[in-house]
């Protein structure tokens, strides 16, 4: 039998499909009458037939979570059993736990007179737990009113909304609200004429430093009624000022807090005096040792001690010494020390979170106007060309095809099928500039930029630290074999696990398996792509443009930048718009109905993984166009022929690197060498030395020696004359025509796409 979370996940998928089914026209019309959308509110539909014609194991699972209840209703056959289903013919809203997992459902039956929501159990919060950085929290008494706030897009960057279970504040909801360290305002919206104590009146007993405002709705109106009748303007007027409709429940009070005087000195102002905390707090969470100086308010006398504030007796002893010395009530000192303990504990937690990056970052907290701007941009025609123009404006000159390819790869980091890019080129060729330039176009909160990875570090990340991230490695040559192995496993398997030991409470060594989940896209740079054969198969290979023309473009851009001739504001705006577009994109499933109509060249190395990369690349092109693509009945985006064509054009160079046995830098050198030889001798039998090549191409000795040895090893050139003492001269022995091969492969791919019938 599935566990409880899997059962709820299965039900949620079923309800999500149910609301989009062709025969569920009336539920969608009901939502439209409330001016609510499926996408914004997450509304679903249950027909009450989820268990019909299903195996007994599935029915047992639904019984175990209370979704089905045995019934005594008549059945048409003795062997059949009757059941009462939760939320029959109802609009369903999913309630989630702190991990954003569905744990409960709220149901509004739309074909009955009574639309009072019913709940399957007491768990979860709709629409989800408020994010940790929430500053303003809207609390509604009903699911429908919370859905209305979501639909209205009235929520700001640090705002959130939650719905109560018909006005009742559960312990789980109260704990979630009290955990919000940055909360400074609550707007409670109770239903009209609700006799019980409102959420605002409940919270005022627990939150003494938060402004709590209760909105009194007009008689016989719900918040959704106001939305339907008066639209966004009426809703904003009601929620913001309301001209007398709002009632202040609490006013903000002076909150006890720590003041940071210097790096190693904190102060806490209390009613009896000032407590100074000196030095750094212990990082051992099992104690809270602190050096404390207490300065009495009137006499300014000082009392010093270094107690462990987690040790009750040490705390009492310190309070007693102050009480006896200053004539202050000991219980008052103890209360202040307990408050100081809470403040220091919170301060230490924040420091550790900041140091280790464990604080959960909010997702997609865009202001409505920025989100609207992003959606409008993503809805425009010729999207890839427009994105490419912004990439150029941001500061990446040249590399027209590479920059589009790297952008598409990077944008997959929060999607279902993340991709990995390996950029190869010689030292100083611009690999890092390309990687970092594209990375700057991604939301900075989702970047992990690494210069070095130690051999064991990937095994010690927290379980969610590598989920939906873009990982940058400036030079993969710096990773040792152990780190490289772990990185490859994360790319392929989506996790790494290690067997380790620890001491239990009895002091015995116990074995356990530690697992780190990973779902990330990556961009790495290297000068020796051919060394990392295992990495080649897992990554899309790109070669930077090392031509003289590209060098001139870069130098011209650098000179303009130094001279102050570039529009820095336009560059900043381009970066911000692309970052917001990535924040706006959602990780839909994609179905490519043409996937079996196109075959990649059989000459390509590692064809199985290359084909997988191509199909995932097509999916990402579709996802970038998600505001322009149709969806099927299951809510999946449908790829078009245009997506296949764009993927083929952008990914073509990467496909060719899988066909060409020369790596990017070596191929560019060889093509340059062939052109040079043809100029020197039309016959192609010209003999050349390494010194001649160095001077002609302005390359270092080590570079030329490496190229010559590689080409000789691959039998593209051979020794024509000379000796080890006097030096060798070489001649080209194999004149391939890569341009002809490229054209043949490209024509073949485009021909297959053009022959596809819609």
* Confidence category of residue 243, pLDDT binned at 50, 70, 90: very low
Encode 77-92: b = buried (16+ Cβ within 10 Å), e = exposed: eeeeeebebbbebbbb
Please name each of the domains of the chain with its CATH number.
1-123 (3.90.980.10), 258-356 (no CATH), 368-658 (3.40.50.300), 664-740 (1.10.10.10)
Q: Is-contact 436 472, C-beta < 8 A?
A: yes
- pLDDT computed for residue 432 by the predictor: 79
Q: Is-contact 359 132, C-beta < 8 A?
A: yes
Q: Is-contact 654 616, C-beta < 8 A?
A: no
- pLDDT computed for residue 497 by the predictor: 86
Q: What is the mean pLDDT of the segment spanning 340-349?
A: 87
- pLDDT computed for residue 97 by the predictor: 93
DSSP assignment of 569-621? HHHHHHHHHHHHHHHH-----EE-TTGGG----TTSTTHHHHHHHHHHHHHHH
pLDDT digits 0-9 by tens, 371-394: 899 999 999 999 999 999 999 999
- pLDDT computed for residue 208 by the predictor: 62
What's the CA gap between 59 and 65, in Å, rounded?
Answer: 10
* Confidence category of residue 667, pLDDT binned at 50, 70, 90: confident
Structure token digits, residue 612: 């997988």
What's the CA gap between 668 and 715, in Å, rounded?
Answer: 17
Phi-psi region of 635 (alpha: psi -120 to 50; beta: other; left: phi over 0): left
pLDDT digits 0-9 by tens, 565-591: 888 899 999 999 999 999 999 999 999
* Confidence category of residue 252, pLDDT binned at 50, 70, 90: very low
Please state the φ and ψ torsions of residue 384, each to the nearest 5 degrees. -60, -40
Nearest to 166 by CA among 221, 126, 111, 203: 126
Q: What is the mean pLDDT of the segment spanning 168-184?
A: 86
- pLDDT computed for residue 668 by the predictor: 87
What's the CA gap between 445 and 424, in Å, rounded?
Answer: 27
Q: What is the mean pLDDT of the segment spanning 419-447?
A: 85
What's the CA gap between 99 and 249, in Å, rounded?
Answer: 32
Return the minimum-mean-pLDDT range out of 156-165, 188-197, 401-410, 447-456.
188-197
Nearest to 184 by CA among 258, 256, 270, 255: 255
Query: What percentage of the chain reaches a pLDDT higher than 70?
Result: 90
**In this model, does residue 355 exceed pLDDT 70?**
no
For 669, which DSSP code?
Answer: H
pLDDT digits 0-9 by tens, 458-509: 888 876 788 999 999 887 777 888 888 888 888 888 888 888 776 665 667 7
* Confidence category of residue 256, pLDDT binned at 50, 70, 90: low
- pLDDT computed for residue 120 by the predictor: 93
- pLDDT computed for residue 407 by the predictor: 94
What's the CA gap between 420 and 613, in Å, rounded?
Answer: 9
Q: How far is CA 290 from the centre of its chain?
A: 38
- pLDDT computed for residue 521 by the predictor: 93
Question: Does the N-terminal peptide bond of residue 335 adopt cis geometry, omega within 30 degrees of 0?
Answer: no
- pLDDT computed for residue 643 by the predictor: 92
Query: What percentage of the chain reaches a pLDDT higher than 90?
Result: 33
Q: What is the mean pLDDT of the segment spanning 23-32?
A: 91
What's the CA gap between 439 and 472, in Å, rounded?
Answer: 8
Structure token digits, residue 280: 């750094």
**In this model, does residue 299 exceed pLDDT 90?**
no
**In this model, does residue 317 exceed pLDDT 70?**
yes
* Confidence category of residue 8, pLDDT binned at 50, 70, 90: very high
Q: What is the mean pLDDT of the segment spanning 535-551?
A: 79
Question: Tokens 């001016």 map to which residue?
Answer: 35
Contacts 24+ apart (CB under 8 A), 332-337: 332/271, 332/272, 333/272, 336/268, 336/270, 336/271, 336/272, 336/275, 337/275, 337/309
**In this model, does residue 657 exceed pLDDT 50?**
yes
- pLDDT computed for residue 179 by the predictor: 86
Cα–Cα distance list, 736 to 27, 593, 610, 675, 679 (Å): 65, 37, 24, 12, 17
Q: How many distinct helices (H) and strands (E) make up the chain? A: 24, 26
* Confidence category of residue 244, pLDDT binned at 50, 70, 90: very low
Q: Is-contact 585 626, C-beta < 8 A?
A: yes
Half-sphere exposure of 528 (CA within 13 A, CB side): 9
The number of beta carbons lying within 10 Å of the beta carbon of residue 44 is 26
Structure token digits, residue 257: 């807090």
- pLDDT computed for residue 561 by the predictor: 84
The H-assigned helical ranges of 268-329 are 312-326
Q: Is-contact 84 71, C-beta < 8 A?
A: yes
DSSP assignment of 320-360? HHHHHHHT--HHHHHHHHHHHHHHHHHHHHHHHHHHHT-SP
Most trustworthy range by pLDDT among 372-376, 546-550, 674-678: 372-376
More confident residue, 444 or 358: 444
- pLDDT computed for residue 9 by the predictor: 93
The H-assigned helical ranges of 660-717 are 664-680, 690-697, 701-713
- pLDDT computed for residue 106 by the predictor: 94
Cα–Cα distance list, 344 to 359, 388, 419 (Å): 18, 50, 43
What's the CA gap between 632 and 644, in Å, rounded?
Answer: 18
* Confidence category of residue 83, pLDDT binned at 50, 70, 90: confident
For 243, which DSSP code?
Answer: G
Q: What is the mean pLDDT of the segment spanning 390-419?
A: 90
Question: Tokens 């009955």 map to which residue?
Answer: 112
* Confidence category of residue 245, pLDDT binned at 50, 70, 90: very low
* Confidence category of residue 52, pLDDT binned at 50, 70, 90: confident
**In this model, does residue 174 exceed pLDDT 50?**
yes
Q: In degrees to the nearest 10, what's the CA dihedral of 100, 103, 108, 111?
A: 120
> Angle, to 10 degrees, between the axis of helix 56-64 and the axis of helix 4-20?
110
Cα–Cα distance list, 519 to 90, 101, 300, 407, 578 (Å): 36, 18, 57, 18, 22
For the chain, give the mean pLDDT.
Answer: 85
**In this model, does residue 359 exceed pLDDT 60?**
no
For 433, which DSSP code?
Answer: H
**In this model, does residue 677 exceed pLDDT 60?**
yes
**In this model, does residue 180 exceed pLDDT 60?**
yes
pLDDT digits 0-9 by tens, 101-127: 999 999 999 988 878 889 999 999 999
* Residue 408 neighbours by CB under 8 Å, 6+ apart: 419, 617, 620, 621, 624, 650
Q: Element (H or E) spanning 368, and its range?
A: helix 368-378
Q: What is the mean pLDDT of the segment spanning 238-261?
A: 59
């Amino acid at each position: 039998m599935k566990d409880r979370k899997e059962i709820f996940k299965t039900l949620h998928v079923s309800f999500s499909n149910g609301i989009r089914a062709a025969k569920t026209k009336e539920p969608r019309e009901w939502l439209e009458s409330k001016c609510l959308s499926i996408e914004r509110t997450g509304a679903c539909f249950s027909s009450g037939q989820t268990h019909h014609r299903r195996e007994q194991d599935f029915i047992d699972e639904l019984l175990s979570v209370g979704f089905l209840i045995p019934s005594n209703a008549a059945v048409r056959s003795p062997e059949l059993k009757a059941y009462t289903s939760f939320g029959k013919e109802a609009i369903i809203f999913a309630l989630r736990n702190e991990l954003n997992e569905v744990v409960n459902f709220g149901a509004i039956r739309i074909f009955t007179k009574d639309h009072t929501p019913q709940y399957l159990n007491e768990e979860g919060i709709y629409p989800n737990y408020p994010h940790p950085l929430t500053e303003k929290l809207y609390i509604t008494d009903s699911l429908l009113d919370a859905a209305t706030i979501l639909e209205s897009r009235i929520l700001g960057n640090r705002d959130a909304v939650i719905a109560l279970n018909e006005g009742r504040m559960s312990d789980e909801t109260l704990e979630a609200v009290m955990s919000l360290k940055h909360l400074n305002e609550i707007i409670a919206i109770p239903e009209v004429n609700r006799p019980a104590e409102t959420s605002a009146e409940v919270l005022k007993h627990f939150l003494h430093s938060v402004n709590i405002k209760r909105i009194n709705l007009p008689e016989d109106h719900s918040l959704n009624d106001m939305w339907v009748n008066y639209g966004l303007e009426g809703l904003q007027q009601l929620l913001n000022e309301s001209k007398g409709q709002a009632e202040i429940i609490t006013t903000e009070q002076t909150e006890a807090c720590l003041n940071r005087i210097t790096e190693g000195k904190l102060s806490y102002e209390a009613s009896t005096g000032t407590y100074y905390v000196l030095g750094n707090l212990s990082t051992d969470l099992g104690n809270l040792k602190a050096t404390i100086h207490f300065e009495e308010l009137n006499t300014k006398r000082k009392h010093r001690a270094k107690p462990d504030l987690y040790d009750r007796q040490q705390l009492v002893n310190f309070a007693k010494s102050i009480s006896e010395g200053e004539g202050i009530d000991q219980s008052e000192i103890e209360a202040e020390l307990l408050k100081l303990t809470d403040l220091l504990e919170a301060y230490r937690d924040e420091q550790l979170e900041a140091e280790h990056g464990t604080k959960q970052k909010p997702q997609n907290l865009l202001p409505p106007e920025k989100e609207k701007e992003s959606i409008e941009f993503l809805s425009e025609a010729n999207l890839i060309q427009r994105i490419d123009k912004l990439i150029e404006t941001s500061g990446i000159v040249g590399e027209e095809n590479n920059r589009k390819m790297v952008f598409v790869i990077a944008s997959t980091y929060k999607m279902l099928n993340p991709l990995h890019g390996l950029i190869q080129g010689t030292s100083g060729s611009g690999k890092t500039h390309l990687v970092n330039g594209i990375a700057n176009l991604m939301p900075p909160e989702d970047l992990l930029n690494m210069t070095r990875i130690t051999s064991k570090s990937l095994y010690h990340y927290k379980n969610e630290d590598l989920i939906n991230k873009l990982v940058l490695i400036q030079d993969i040559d710096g990773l040792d074999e152990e780190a490289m192995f772990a990185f490859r496993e994360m790319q392929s398997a989506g996790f790494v696990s290690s067997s380790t030991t620890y001491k239990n409470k009895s002091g015995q060594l116990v074995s356990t398996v530690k697992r780190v989940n990973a779902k990330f896209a990556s961009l790495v740079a290297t000068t020796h792509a051919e060394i990392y054969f295992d990495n080649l198969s897992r990554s899309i290979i790109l070669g930077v443009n090392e031509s003289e023309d590209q060098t001139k473009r870069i130098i011209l851009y650098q000179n303009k930048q130094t001279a102050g001739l570039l529009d820095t504001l336009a560059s900043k705006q381009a970066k911000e718009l692309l970052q917001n577009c990535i924040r706006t994109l959602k990780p839909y499933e994609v179905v490519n109905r043409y996937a079996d109509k196109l075959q990649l060249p059989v000459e390509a190395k590692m064809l199985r993984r290359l084909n997988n990369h191509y199909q995932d690349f097509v999916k990402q092109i579709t996802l970038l166009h998600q505001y322009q693509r149709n969806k099927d009945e299951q809510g999946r985006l449908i790829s078009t022929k245009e997506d296949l064509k764009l993927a083929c054009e952008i990914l073509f160079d990467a496909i060719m690197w899988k066909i060409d046995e020369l790596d990017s830098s070596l191929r560019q050198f060889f093509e340059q060498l062939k052109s040079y030889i043809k100029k020197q001798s039309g016959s192609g039998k010209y003999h050349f030395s390494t010194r001649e090549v160095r001077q002609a191409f302005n390359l270092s000795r080590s570079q030329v020696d490496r190229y010559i040895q590689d080409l000789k090893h691959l039998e593209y050139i051979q020794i024509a004359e000379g000796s080890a003492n006097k030096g060798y001269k070489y001649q080209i022995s194999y004149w391939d025509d890569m341009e002809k091969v490229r054209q043949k492969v490209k024509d073949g791919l485009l021909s297959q796409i053009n022959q596809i019938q819609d």
